[in-house]
């Protein structure tokens, strides 16, 4: 798939249109001294990538930058140093500039590997379809990954035209706002145009990545924002609203109003990858409450003076919210522990301590019962 260039005035504007700035120029200086050419990776597939340079879009091989760490492979959104024109065929990516931000998740494999989805992203648009029932837990997962990446998240509730009742729609927006503190929640319809102007203003400038499950409407939204049919679109299944994985690669497009957009394939799984800070950001109200607990290591279960338990009891904190917070923290801790021997030892010690405390409490309870 080639980059749509119809709205660019000349090839020399390509770098600026893709987000090139003085900071990137300074970081690239050592590579410029070697005679290499800067460019932004707009698509990667099978060991090769499309790179937007001032010469135009070129095809380059990534064999020279294929590290053992899957998080360091060449990714859509990277700024690359490539061979100059006419040096060799095929041309090669010789290096990538250090990333400012990176959106990563854990893979579904048992090897505890991370997968880089997009690099140097400023905005993360989490697309959620209103054609199916809201999954608040999944939204929390996406938000945790987005905050951890360093990008500013926005939640788009797509296909809002399927909820014609304004009151009902407002309730859905409110439900999502309760799990997305500090995040804009925007109902949007590509059919009626509702919310599109707000989103276009939000993503103008910088780099935006579209995230969501298949059938959420990402490809349709990408076409609307870019102003061209750059992505194939298929209808979601009527029976469950699930999509057919129209998008199979991550693609970067220049937006006519400024900025660039990365569309991603629908994600079946949203596994955390070292996202403790992101989880804390999503559940900011629980972290704030925890700061008022009597004990700094409070487990928010049966400890005296627990501010979180008190909030559950008086109804200001939903039980589902606390359960989701615990679940994501446990998942993240287990994942990190698989690659951190010291943390595994600490977790084992903590489990033994809690087990001993529970056994002692049970013995005391039995003693009082006699």
Per residue in 16-25, pLDDT (tens digit) is 999 999 999 9
Note the pLDDT of residue 229.
73
Q: CB–CB of 117/70 below 8 Å? A: no
For the ranges 65-69, 90-94, 214-218, 352-356, which has the lowest average pLDDT? 352-356
Q: Please tell me which residue, 188 or 342, carries the higher pLDDT value.
A: 188
Rounded mean pLDDT, 34-51: 93
CA torsion angle 364 365 368 370 (round to 10): -110
pLDDT tens for residues 265-313? Answer: 766 556 666 678 888 889 999 999 999 998 888 888 878 899 999 999 9
Q: How far apart are CA 248 and CA 122, in angstroms?
A: 22
| pLDDT above 90 coverage of the chain, percent | 52
Q: Who contacts 66 (Cβ-Cβ below 8 Å, separation ≥6)? A: 47, 73, 74
Per-residue pLDDT for 8 more than 80?
A: no
Task: From 26, 45, 86, select the one nearest 250 (Cα to Cα).
Answer: 45
Rounded mean pLDDT, 345-349: 52
Q: How far apart are CA 64 and CA 87, in angstroms?
A: 16
Helix (H) or strand (E) holding 286: helix 284-290
Note the pLDDT of residue 109.
47
Note the pLDDT of residue 13.
79
Note the pLDDT of residue 360.
61
Note the pLDDT of residue 112.
55
Note the pLDDT of residue 69.
76
Q: Cβ–Cβ contacts within 10 Å for residue 216, how many?
A: 28
Note the pLDDT of residue 269.
58
Q: Cβ–Cβ contacts within 10 Å for residue 331, how many?
A: 17
Rounded mean pLDDT, 120-136: 95
Task: From 358, 282, 273, 355, select the one nearest 325 (Cα to Cα).
Answer: 282
Note the pLDDT of residue 3.
40
Per-residue pLDDT for 205 more than 50?
A: yes
Q: What is the mean pLDDT of the chain?
A: 82
Q: Please tell me which residue, 146 or 270, carries the higher pLDDT value.
A: 146
Q: How far apart are CA 120 and CA 18, in angstroms?
A: 11
pLDDT tens for residues 46-63? Answer: 889 999 999 899 999 998
Note the pLDDT of residue 301.
81
pLDDT tens for residues 85-127? Answer: 877 777 999 999 999 998 887 765 445 567 788 999 999 999 9
Q: CB–CB of 74/285 below 8 Å? A: no
Task: From 279, 289, 212, 210, select the one nearest 243 (Cα to Cα).
Answer: 212
Note the pLDDT of residue 89.
74
Q: How far apart are CA 180 and CA 178, in angstroms?
A: 6
Rounded mean pLDDT, 325-341: 75
Helix residue spans in 114-232 (DSSP H): 136-149, 166-178, 196-203, 218-226
Per-residue pLDDT for 247 more than 60?
A: no
Tell me which residue has tokens 């119809």. 6
Residue 21, CA distances (Å) to 7, 17, 26, 309, 319 in order: 20, 10, 9, 49, 46
Note the pLDDT of residue 244.
45
Q: Please tell me which residue, 139 or 331, carries the higher pLDDT value.
A: 139
Kindly report whether the global pTM for this prediction surpasses the value 0.85. Answer: no
Note the pLDDT of residue 46.
82
């Amino acid at each position: 798939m080639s980059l749509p260039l119809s709205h660019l005035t000349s090839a020399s504007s390509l770098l600026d249109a893709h987000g090139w700035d003085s900071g990137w120029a300074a970081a690239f200086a050592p590579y410029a001294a070697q005679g290499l050419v800067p460019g932004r990776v707009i698509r990667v597939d099978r060991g090769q990538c499309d790179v937007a340079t001032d010469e135009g879009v070129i095809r380059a091989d990534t064999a020279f930058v294929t590290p053992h760490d899957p998080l360091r492979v060449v990714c859509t959104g990277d700024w690359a140093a490539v061979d100059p024109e006419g040096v060799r065929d095929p041309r090669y990516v010789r290096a990538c500039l250090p990333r400012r931000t990176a959106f990563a998740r854990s893979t579904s494999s048992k090897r505890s590997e991370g997968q880089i989805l997009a690099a140097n992203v400023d905005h993360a648009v989490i697309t959620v379809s209103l054609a199916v029932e809201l999954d608040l837990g999944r939204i929390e997962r996406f938000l945790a990954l987005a905050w951890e990446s360093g990008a500013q998240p926005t939640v788009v509730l797509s296909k809002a035209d399927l909820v014609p009742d304004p009151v009902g729609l407002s309730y859905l927006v409110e439900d999502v706002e309760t799990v997305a503190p500090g995040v804009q929640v925007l109902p949007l319809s590509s059919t009626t145009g509702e919310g599109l102007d707000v989103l276009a203003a939000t993503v103008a400038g910088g780099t935006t990545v579209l995230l969501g499950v298949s059938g959420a409407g990402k490809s349709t939204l990408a076409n609307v924002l870019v102003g061209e049919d750059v992505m194939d679109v298929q209808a979601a299944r009527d029976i469950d609203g699930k999509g057919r994985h129209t998008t199979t690669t991550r693609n970067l497009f220049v937006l006519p109003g400024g900025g660039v957009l990365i569309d991603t394939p629908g994600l079946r799984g949203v596994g955390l990858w070292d996202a403790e800070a992101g989880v804390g950001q999503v559940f900011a109200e629980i972290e704030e409450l925890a700061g008022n607990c009597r004990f700094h290591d409070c487990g928010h279960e049966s400890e005296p003076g627990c501010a979180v338990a008190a909030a559950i009891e008086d109804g200001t904190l939903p039980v589902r919210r606390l359960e989701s917070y615990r679940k994501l923290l446990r998942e993240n801790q287990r994942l990190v522990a698989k690659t951190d021997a010291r943390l595994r030892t600490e977790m084992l010690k903590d489990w033994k301590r809690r087990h001993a405390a529970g056994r002692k409490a049970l013995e005391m309870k039995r003693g009082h019962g006699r």
